[in-house]
Amino acid sequence: MATALKGLRLTARSCAGASLSSKCSARPIGRRRVFSTTPTRWKTTIDPEAEAAVISKAEQALGVDLRAAHAEIDSSAKDIQDYLDAELDFGPPGPEFLPAKKKLKETFLNMGDPEPFEDGGFAEDMEDDLSSLAHGELEQHREWRHYARLAAWEMPLLSKLAKPFEPPTADMPLRFRYTTYMGEHHPAEKKVVLEFSPADMPNLTSIQRDKLRKLLGPRYNPEADTVRMSCEMFETQAQNKRYLGDLVDTLLHEARDPTDTFEDVPLDTRHHHFKRKLRFPKEWEMTEDRRQELVKHRQQAVMKDQKRETAGQLVDGIKQIEMAWAKPVAREAIPEMAMAGKGLKGRGPTGKRVGVRR
Asked if residue 228 is part of any domain, the answer here is yes
Range of the domain at 65: 1-21+46-100
Q: Residues 316, 321, 326, 327: is their CA dihedral positive or negative?
A: positive
**Residue that terminates a domain, selected from 255, 281, 299:** 255
Query: How many domains does one find in the chain?
Result: 2
Which residue, of 206, 229, 255, is where some domain finishes? 255
317 falls within a domain: no
Q: Does 273 map to a domain?
A: no
Last residue of some domain: 100, 123, 144? 100
pLDDT (tens place) for every residue of the chain, 358 residues total: 445 545 545 555 555 444 444 444 444 444 454 445 555 665 556 667 777 777 777 666 666 676 777 777 777 777 777 777 766 655 555 555 555 666 666 776 666 666 555 555 555 555 667 888 999 999 999 999 999 999 999 999 989 999 999 888 888 999 999 999 987 889 999 999 999 999 999 889 999 999 999 999 999 999 999 999 999 999 999 999 999 999 999 999 999 999 999 999 999 999 999 888 888 888 888 899 999 999 999 999 999 988 888 887 888 888 889 888 888 877 777 777 666 655 545 555 555 554 545 4
Is residue 265 assigned to a domain? no
Q: Do the domain assignments include residue 63?
A: yes
Which residues lie below 8 Å from residue 175, measured CB to CB, with a gap of 6+? 168, 194, 195, 196
Q: Are 76 and 8 in contact (CB under 8 A)?
A: yes
Amino acid at 237: Q
Rounding to the nearest 10 degrees, give the CA dihedral for residues 262, 265, 270, 272: 30
DSSP-assigned beta bridge partners for residue 176: 194
- Gyration radius from the chain CA atoms: 54
Give the strands of the sheet with 220-221, arranged side by side: 175-178, 192-196, 226-231, 220-221
What pLDDT is attached to residue 20? Answer: 43
Q: What is the pLDDT of residue 139?
A: 93
How much helix, strand and coil, in percent to the nearest 5, is found in the chain?
A: 50, 5, 45
Q: Which candidate, 129, 103, 98, places its Cα nearest to that of 118?
A: 103
Torsion of CA 65, 71, 76, 81, to 10 degrees: 150
Q: Quick check: is 109 in a domain? A: no
Does residue 9 fall inside a structural domain? Answer: yes
Quote the Cα angle for 56-62-65, to 5°.
55
Residue 130 lies in a domain: no
The CATH number of residue 209's host domain is 3.30.160.20
